[in-house]
Amino acid sequence: MERKSIIWKHIKEHRMSYLFGFALLSIASVLQLVIPTLLGVFTDRLEMAELTYKEALTFALWMVLAGIGIALFRSSSRIFLFRLSRLLDMRIRDELFKHWETLSTHYFKNRRVGDLMSHAISDVSVIREVTQNGIFNTLEAVVLISITVVTMVTSVDPLLTLLTLLPLPLLSVLAYRFKRRIQKESTSVQEAIGDLTSRVQEFVAGIRVVKSFLQEKEQIRLFRQDNGHAVAMNRKLVKSNSLFGALSSAVVGFSFLVSVVLGGIMVLHNRITLGEFVAFNSFLSLLMGPIENLGKVVNTMQRGKASEERLLAILNTRADVADDSNADPSVQTIGGEIEIRNLTFCYPESKEPALRNISLKVPKGTSLAIVGRVGSGKSTLVHLLVRLYNPPKGTVFIDGREISEIPLQVLRGHVGIVPQDQFLFSTTIRDNISFDPKPYRDEEIEQAAKLAQVYDNIVEFPNQFQTALGERGISLSGGQRQRVSIARAIIKKPSILIFDDSLSAVDTETEDRILEGLDTVMENRTTIIIGHRISSVQSADQIVVLEEGELVERGTHESLLEHNGIYADMYHKQLLDEATRQQEQEWEEEAVDGVSDYKEPVQSRQGGEVAAAQDSRAGTKLASGGRAG
Ligand SMILES: Nc1ncnc2c1ncn2[C@@H]1O[C@H](COP(=O)(O)OP(=O)(O)OP(=O)(O)O)[C@@H](O)[C@H]1O
């Protein structure tokens, strides 16, 4: 059900506490009337020269007591009410974070980190401000203004009260006129803060690219531009606020003018006493604070409304990937058989399908390799298997069940994925490997690290598995990060393990060792390997080639080579590259050895020897056949 309010819901839920705070504030407000009243009587007694020292002392004592009472009740009410707003603050942040966790990756792909942070920090603070000073000032204004006006009418003069307060309704006219303007400007300020935060976040995340492309100056220029814009937006808001405050004060000042002139005339005509005149002006002073605060409240409320609307828009965003009504809670585990039937998939904001009419079957415990050019749809296919996006109904089946029938928790709990972006959290290596909700013993973590071929690297660090990683794991090399990600996936012993091009940053020897280690872990489990290097996929039971979203070849390594299509082409090109690289390495070694006739043999070799070397390397690879052999 769509949520309509955050603030009002909170007030309703805590109404008893708000009533209590209101009661404390009301006592403080009543006590505030004591001082002007005493001041009036005191002035009259003084004017009539009837005041004794003892009486003067008694007046002073009562005033001090009233002052202490006001301070006590007012601050207790403030503490009490402010505590409630802190509670709301914490609750919205919790709700926001919890809700974000339910939303799909698609939602986050379309948003900037800066905007999300601006919601979590600035918008939530504005809402707190509404329930903190906004509510406190409103309650105080309502109580104090009503009882003070009644006292002014009954204890001094109704006409003087009426004429003095006559300009005050102008304040509501002002508030109305400034309402839209302040709300609009407040939204612009929050957006500018979002831009600025995004700029800093992007700069930090891309610091290596920035430095290697000498982009520091350009980044400073862009930052200054965003910073300047944020300041300009803030200035605009401050200007409106100040103008509103100044006009409100002018209205209030006009009331004082009426009170002094009219009140003075009334004293001269003996319609009121001097003491009543003094008391009246003190009452008026009492009113001015809350009335001016009311102006600020209107402002705060407008900003609060803008922030509440933005937060509600997030909280009312429905998760596009969630457990369907047909999810079967009796499914507690998955075996690992995958079937894809005529799958055509289009990303929500894209017109062209990323996958077209794909059909394939991966029996439980077997391995599938997916190869294909950049952007051919490999990652999309595996993302659908963990429902990062929803595949169309009737296209993806696991263990013969429609994927939507498997509760998301079960599906994701039993599919381990090593994503292309090996994101690591800024915590220890141990916590990064044992990331699953299930706790793991040290031996299990070490075993996973050994299988992922990263154990030897980790134990070389002074703090070993307790080594803390910086944001995005920057203290590890690309290959080490990939292997920690692999350990994180295999520790789960998932029914389906997916490597999304996650062996690209390791050398072929390490890759072989990882794949060999997996044989034990993945016995009777299903493995999907996406790779650009033939060496990482050639041993799979089944290899498919994707081309512009279509499945264009399928078979084993040998059958695909025989077919002599895209796969065979990729294979031969890679062999050629590898042979050339190896040959170049040998020449470099010879050159380092200081052979005097260095130039001549190199030139002669360029003709025939490279081809010979390539042939022999190709022969070796084919003969060994990698793991498949
Ligand atoms: N979130 C997305 N929204 C819209 N289009 C997307 C999205 N992600 C990928 N695509 C598009 O879908 C197509 C397939 O992308 P995909 O990432 O699956 O390719 P890939 O074969 O895994 O590429 P690579 O080898 O570079 O990882 C591409 O055209 C890509 O631009």
pLDDT, tens digit, 9 for 90 and up, residues 541-574: 899 999 888 999 898 888 888 888 888 888 888 7
Dihedral, 122, 123, 127, 133 alpha carbons, nearest 10: 30
Residue 254 lies in a domain: yes
CATH of the domain at 144: 1.20.1560.10
Q: Residue 414 C-alpha to ligand 1 middle, in angstroms?
A: 24
The full 3-state SS of 217-285, as one line of letters, equals HHHHHHHHHHHHHHHHHHHHHHHHHHHHHHHHHHHHHHHHHHHHHHHHHHHHCCCCCHHHHHHHHHHHH
Tell me: do 240 and 105 sit in the same domain: yes
Last residue of a domain, one of 315, 346, 370: 315
CATH of the domain at 361: 3.40.50.300
Tell me: do 17 and 52 sit in the same domain: yes
Banded model confidence at residue 620, pLDDT cuts 50, 70, 90 = very low
Q: Which of 370, 376, 420 to mutate to test the pocket of ligand 1 (most atoms within 8 A of CB)?
A: 376
Q: Residue 381 C-alpha to ligand 1 middle, in angstroms?
A: 10
Identify which has the larger pLDDT, 582 or 378: 378
Q: Do β-strands 338-345 and 415-418 pair in parallel, antiparallel, or remain unpaired?
A: unpaired
What gap in Å lies between CA 514 and CA 233, rounded to an integer?
Answer: 55
The pLDDT of residue 523 is 74
Tell me: do 516 and 400 sit in the same domain: yes
Q: Is the pLDDT of residue 181 over 60?
A: yes
Q: Residue 505 C-alpha to ligand 1 middle, in angstroms?
A: 20
Residue 209 lies in a domain: yes
Give the atom of ligand 1 at the shortest distance from the alpha carbon of 350.
4
Q: Is the pLDDT of residue 211 over 70?
A: yes
* Cβ neighbours for 37, distance < 8 A, ≥ 6 positions apart: 151, 155, 279
Tell me: do 136 and 281 sit in the same domain: yes
The pLDDT of residue 474 is 55
Q: What is the mean pLDDT of the chain?
A: 81
Q: Which of 108, 344, 346, 347 to mutate to test the pocket of ligand 1 (most atoms within 8 A of CB)?
A: 347
Q: Which of 109, 343, 350 to mutate to test the pocket of ligand 1 (most atoms within 8 A of CB)?
A: 350
Identify which has the larger pLDDT, 603 or 86: 86
Q: Average of pLDDT values for 6-22?
A: 88
- In angstroms, how far is the first alpha carbon of the chain from the final one? 58
The pLDDT of residue 207 is 77
- Going by C-alpha positions, the residue among 170, 173, 178, 306 that lies closest to residue 239 is 178
Q: Average of pLDDT values for 429-441?
A: 79
The pLDDT of residue 321 is 67
Nearest CA to ligand 1 atom 31: 375
Q: Is the pLDDT of residue 412 over 70?
A: yes
Nearest CA to ligand 1 atom 17: 379
Q: Is the pLDDT of residue 615 over 70?
A: no
Report long-range pairs for 347-350 (Cβ below 8 Å, ≥24 apart): 347/106, 347/380, 347/389, 348/106, 348/320, 348/389, 349/110
pLDDT, tens digit, 9 for 90 and up, residues 234-251: 999 899 888 888 888 888
Tokens of 519: 């044989």
Q: Is the pLDDT of residue 144 over 90?
A: no
Ranked by mean pLDDT, which of 64-68, 592-596, 623-627 comes out on top? Answer: 64-68
The pLDDT of residue 6 is 85
The pLDDT of residue 444 is 83
Q: Is the pLDDT of residue 200 over 70?
A: yes
Tell me: do 84 and 169 sit in the same domain: yes
Domains held by the chain: number: 3
The pLDDT of residue 612 is 39
Tell me: do 254 and 346 sit in the same domain: no
Ranges 105-119, 414-428, 583-597: which has the least confidence? 583-597
The pLDDT of residue 76 is 92
The pLDDT of residue 231 is 93
Ranges 139-148, 345-354, 362-371, 434-443: which has the least confidence? 434-443
Residue 80 lies in a domain: yes
Dihedral, 541, 547, 550, 555 alpha carbons, nearest 10: -20
Tell me: do 92 and 162 sit in the same domain: yes
- Going by C-alpha positions, the residue among 96, 134, 149 that lies closest to residue 7 is 134
> In percent, how much of the chain has pLDDT > 90?
10
What gap in Å lies between CA 336 and CA 366, rounded to an integer?
Answer: 9
Tokens of 364: 């439980």
Q: Is the pLDDT of residue 73 over 90?
A: yes
Residue 243 lies in a domain: yes
Ranked by mean pLDDT, which of 241-250, 361-370, 450-459, 479-488 comes out on top? Answer: 361-370
Tell me: do 522 and 595 sit in the same domain: no
Across 383-510, the runs of DSSP E, i.e. the strands, are: 396-398, 401-402, 415-418, 496-500
Q: Is the pLDDT of residue 628 over 50?
A: no
Q: Residue 135 C-alpha to ligand 1 middle, in angstroms?
A: 50
What gap in Å lies between CA 436 and CA 342, rounded to an integer?
Answer: 33
Give the atom of ligand 1 at the shortest distance from the alpha carbon of 377.
18
pLDDT, tens digit, 9 for 90 and up, residues 254-278: 888 888 899 999 989 988 889 899 9
Q: Is the pLDDT of residue 534 over 90?
A: no
Q: Average of pLDDT values for 514-534?
A: 79
> In percent, how much of the chain has pLDDT > 70?
92
Q: Average of pLDDT values for 201-225?
A: 80
Q: Is the pLDDT of residue 623 over 80?
A: no
Q: Residue 355 C-alpha to ligand 1 middle, in angstroms?
A: 10
Ranges 115-129, 254-268, 579-593: which has the least confidence? 579-593
Residue 561 lies in a domain: no
Q: Is the pLDDT of residue 332 over 70?
A: yes
Tell me: do 263 and 399 sit in the same domain: no
Q: Average of pLDDT values for 220-243?
A: 90
* Residues 115 and 194: beta-carbon distance below 8 Å: yes
Q: Is the pLDDT of residue 300 over 60?
A: yes
Q: Which of 373, 379, 532 to mutate to test the pocket of ligand 1 (most atoms within 8 A of CB)?
A: 379
Q: Residue 354 C-alpha to ligand 1 middle, in angstroms?
A: 7
Provide the 10 A C-beta neighbour count for residue 176.
10
What is the domain extent for residue 206? 7-315
User: What amino acid occupies position 36?
Assistant: P
What gap in Å lies between CA 363 and CA 376, rounded to an integer?
Answer: 24
Banded model confidence at residue 54, pLDDT cuts 50, 70, 90 = confident
Tell me: do 104 and 210 sit in the same domain: yes
Tell me: do 285 and 367 sit in the same domain: no
Q: Is the pLDDT of residue 487 over 90?
A: no
